[in-house]
A and B are shown apart, each in its own frame.
Chain A
Amino acid sequence: AQSVSQHNHHVILSEAASLELGCNYSYGGTVNLFWYVQYPGQHLQLLLKYFSGDPLVKGIKGFEAEFIKSKFSFNLRKPSVQWSDTAEYFCAVNARNFNKFYFGSGTKLNVKP
């Protein structure tokens, strides 16, 4: 079975600090990878996704993520966070051609103004 691990449960940063959130998955086959963001009281929105090609993907709001196949990782990064980035971030995986998205337990990011 697939599983997704997010190592950081709660991260607190000051504005302009750099961000890296870890995500590892366990599945031996080909996967699609996603990062979703959930702002307080809102639904999940897609930040970025990886299907194939360049392992460094860029998403909305200055976020990017790097797929490292050998490490089964898909870490999320942002060079300089803003207060408005305060939210919960979820890594998700699904195996190619299987309609089942597995989510990590989420990382709560608090950015202090």
Chain B
Amino acid sequence: DTAVSQTPKYLVTQMGNDKSIKCEQNLGHDTMYWYKQDSKKFLKIMFSYNNKELIINETVPNRFSPKSPDKAHLNLHINSLELGDSAVYFCASSPGQVLNTEAFFGQGTRLTVV
């Protein structure tokens, strides 16, 4: 059973298109995240949601819009894709603000914008 699952695993699209990446966790966690890993492998947090509420938005362009329909899902919608958006996007989850624990990561979505 996959704890944090993302779809699709690979996404190739043209500049200017709009695309979505889905993420689901079956761990019962309250908090979910989106991270972007660039070509140099640097991992940077983009968003964090706790119980469907946005708690962290790290100066990400407003072309990126996360949506959390329930605490088990955090989807990422990207409008007007640009070449610089090419990266691997990782979804992650953790139990929440009270407990000390690690983040659990999904398999990643490799987005290539051409």
| A residues at B contact (CB < 8 Å) | 32, 34, 36, 38, 42-46, 49, 51, 88, 90, 92, 96-103, 105-106, 108
* Bound-state Cα–Cα, A100 to B97, Å: 10
Decide if A98 touches B90 in the complex (CB within 8 Å): no
**B residues less than 8 Å from A108 (CB atoms):** 41
- Among A49, A96, A102, which residue has its beta carbon within 8 angstroms of that of B102? A49
Given A44-B90, A99-B55; A105-B40 close (CB under 8 Å): yes
* Bound-state Cα–Cα, A38 to B88, Å: 13
Given A100-B48, A106-B41; A43-B105 close (CB under 8 Å): yes
* Bound-state Cα–Cα, A57 to B48, Å: 28
Query: With contacts A100-B45, A106-B43 known, what are 17 further pairs, Cβ within 8 A?
Result: A32-B100, A34-B102, A43-B90, A43-B106, A44-B43, A44-B90, A46-B102, A97-B97, A97-B98, A97-B100, A98-B97, A99-B33, A101-B45, A101-B103, A103-B44, A105-B40, A106-B42
**B residues less than 8 Å from A36 (CB atoms):** 105
- Among B50, B104, B105, B106, which residue has its beta carbon within 8 angstroms of that of A99? B50
Interface CB pairs A-B, < 8 A, 20: A34-B102, A43-B107, A43-B108, A44-B90, A44-B92, A44-B105, A46-B104, A49-B102, A97-B98, A97-B100, A99-B55, A99-B94, A100-B45, A101-B33, A101-B45, A103-B44, A105-B41, A105-B42, A106-B41, A106-B43
Name which of B43, B45, B94, B96 has the most chain A CB atoms within 10 A of its CB.
Answer: B43
A87: shortest Cβ distance to chain B, in Å? Answer: 11
| B residues at A contact (CB < 8 Å) | 31, 33, 35, 40-45, 48, 50, 55-56, 90, 92, 94, 96-98, 100, 102-108
Describe A's contact surface by its main secondary structure.
Answer: strand
B75: shortest Cβ distance to chain A, in Å? Answer: 18
**B residues less than 8 Å from A106 (CB atoms):** 41-43
